[in-house]
Amino acid sequence: MATITCYGAAQEVTGSCHLLHTDNLSILFDCGLHQGGRVRRHLEADPFKFNPAAIDAVVLSHAHLDHSGRLPALVHEGFNGPIYCTHATAQLLPVMLHDAFSLYQSDLKRLNRKHQRQGKPLISERYSYEDIQTVLTLCKPKAFKEPFTINKHINVTLFDAGHILGSAITKATFTERGASKTLVYSGDLGKHDTLLMNDPQVLEHADVVMMEGTYGDRDHRDLTDTLSQFKSILNEAYQRKGNALLPAFAVGRTQELLLYLGKLQHSGELDDWTIFLDSPMAIEVTRIYDQWLTTLDCEGMESLSDGDATLLKNFISSLHLTIEPEHSMAINNIRNRALIIAGSGMCTGGRITHHIRHRIWDKRNTIIFVGYQAQGTPGRALVDGVKSIRLFGEDLQVNASVETLGGFSAHAGQQELVNWLANFKPKPRVLLVHGEADALDVLSEQIWQQLDICSEIPFPGQMLAF
């Protein structure tokens, strides 16, 4: 009998990792980092609860680190099978993994210096640069809607999930003991009617649907209202002669933000802001997005450009790209009306933490969160209204305004999730993952009320047979 075991993103939002075991194969859907603290904490503390060498293949839904970040550790511990993903995900993956490794090494060096001073044993790396290179050689890119077979036992097709560039819904069909079974794993589903991404594709048949529920307890604000709120927040910050800080994920959120800002500028509603994209990683990722613009929705972009503009070229006249560290530090000398987009999106590291350190104490400034903030992150603490926050060993007063724009989320809201699920006929068995427990409980109740489906919420490590 086939089983699915949820080793991550079970009653939590990050660390996606789900193992499908059949009579013939063991396939891992995603292999992601837990986020909510420094990357190295989880790499040190969380050994795999299965044998990586026994996994036949990985199907990767998309490149975000909470879905891909542990692939090098998986390889280091014996995995040597194919990693299936879309072509765009294969392009984004080296950027994500190399950046994460750099942060991991820095954290590990810092921790080992502390261990040396305390006479504790040093901690060795859980994986190496060579393991990252192996991950990249194992990638087998596939196009959307292009069926492929894994070891002649399971047929898989990837569909556009509309979350970020290359994000995929996975449909896996196999025969076991004479019966055909189909599992659909949603990955992260995007919102409808965004300016950049396509709507998530609709599927209609599955025996089991494993669906995310990040925002299972709420619907997002209408995009028109969100843009109006964004404009109002920026205008207030501008009138206060302050600066605006936008913590943003390098993949997905940054590119959407650039499109929204371009829309405001071209309608004369952006005021006289100087915009800084202060993230080498986000700049590199946006160049990859620019290669794929013709496959994306890009609603309204043609009317805002001369036809050959990209997100980084001739689209926002006041956009400055800062790559070198000294250029990033120079932004701190700008006293007002600098709009700074930088990572990380949850303020767990990266250049945004330096900007927050220099600006958070000043009531003229504004911090604008445009994405989900996981529990335990500085971003979540700020959204929850803390009066002081500790960064770089220093307690900082939170005097800056803190705003949240939920309408810019790259995840489907509650009703969009229910509507996507409603397309499956007959009613499938439903497993809810990738969401905090309370949000999944609310989503489960809505699914019962609207679709008459009793969904299940697996706990970490739970094995479910089907």
CA distance 167 to 160: 6
> pLDDT per residue over 48-68, tens digit each?
999 999 999 999 999 999 999
Is the pLDDT confidence value at 44 over 60? Answer: no
Query: What integer pLDDT is reported at residue 392 of this predicted model?
Result: 87
Is the pLDDT confidence value at 423 over 80? Answer: yes
Q: Torsion-angle region of residue 38: left (phi > 0), alpha (psi -120 to 50) or beta?
A: beta
> pLDDT per residue over 435-447, tens digit each?
999 999 999 999 9
Is the pLDDT confidence value at 315 over 80? Answer: no
> pLDDT per residue over 399-412, tens digit each?
999 999 878 888 99
Q: Give residue 75's pLDDT band: very low, low, confident or very high (50, 70, 90).
A: very high
> pLDDT per residue over 176-222, tens digit each?
888 999 999 999 999 998 888 999 999 999 999 999 999 999 999 88
For residues 343-370, average pLDDT: 93
Q: What is the mean pLDDT of the chain?
A: 92
Are the CB atoms for 181 and 25 separated by under 8 Å? no
- Sketch out the chain's domains with CATH numbers: 3-218+417-465 (3.60.15.10), 223-408 (3.40.50.10890)
Is the pLDDT confidence value at 396 over 60? Answer: yes
CA distance 78 to 359: 46
For residues 218-234, average pLDDT: 89
For residues 361-389, average pLDDT: 92
pTM given for the model: 0.90
Are the CB atoms for 340 and 248 separated by under 8 Å? no
Interior CA angle at 348 toward 345 and 349, to 5°?
95
Query: What integer pLDDT is reported at residue 300 of this predicted model?
Result: 55
For residues 217-231, average pLDDT: 89
Amino acid at site 366: T
For residues 75-79, average pLDDT: 97
> pLDDT per residue over 120-153, tens digit each?
999 888 899 999 999 999 999 999 999 999 998 8
Q: Give residue 43's pLDDT band: very low, low, confident or very high (50, 70, 90).
A: very low
Output the six-digit token pair for 274. Answer: 């100087």
Three-state secondary structure call for residue 313: coil
Amino acid at site 439: A
* Number of residues that make up the chain: 466
